[in-house]
Amino acid sequence: MLFVIRPKINNVEYIADSTFSFFLGDTTGQRVKVIVTDFMKDNVFSEIEDQLRDLNIGVLGWIFFFIFLPKQMNSVNPYICLKSDFIFLFPQMCKIILPGMENREKGVIVNISSGVASIPFPLYTLYAASKVFVERFSQGLQAEYKDKGIIIQTVAPFGVSTRLAGYQSTNIVTLSPEDFVKSSLQYLRAGDKTHGSVCHIVLGWLLQSIPLKVLYSEIYIHIYPSPDREVTSDRI
């Protein structure tokens, strides 16, 4: 059975309705249950734990995005950005799921980070830092649980053509969601971190090879859109 935990947002009626469940079930061949919750509530994880109690959960895929437009730090509300992302939410879900996996001595946790966390990234400073947290947390957790038969891996892609990315045209760097998933699953046993595809692995290597002073040049900064636009949040 496939469980989808969806934040309570404006289009919750569409996400939680039977049509969505049927479509996802037909695609995966699994029964689907959608749990809609408000992640800003103090007791949200107690409610989730109650609904997942006594279930045999073997795979946890934790993806929690918000759209972060490039902005200078003095234009960003750090609390809103971090509250909206993994730092408060991601460890709690791992804590709920891990005891069952440990008892069964098997399980897989895949956490989605971002390629922008490969280096200190101007105008994405807070966003990139939150993704570094995801990577370090996952890597430390893998070291703790590797001998217990549990795989914990961070996948840090660059371009994937999703709704949050504006459905960019696919190319050698920007992958379709289907191609990204198929490719990244091939690297499931490749270590505690992967970029998920050959093209993104090469891109990550190139990014880390360029001197930071080049990346931080005025020309580099000015290729980004105007930082005057507001940060918006849209989580999936």
| Options 14, 127, 220, 224, the catalytic residue | 127
Phi, psi of 110 (to 5 degrees): -115, 120
Residues contacting 63, CB < 8 A, separation 6+:
112, 236
Distance from chain centroid for Cα 23: 22
Known active-site residue 127: yes
Provide the 10 A C-beta neighbour count for residue 84: 24
Cα dihedral 120, 193, 187, 235, rounded to 10, equals -70
Q: DSSP characters for 11-71?
A: THHHHHSHHHHHHHHHHHTS-EEEEEE-TTSTTHHHHHHHHHTT----EEEE---------
Written as one letter, the residue type at 235 is: R
23 exposure class (CB count in 10 Å sphere: 0-12, 13-18, 19+)? exposed
Residues contacting 5, CB < 8 A, separation 6+:
35, 37, 48
Kindly list the catalytic residues.
Answer: 127
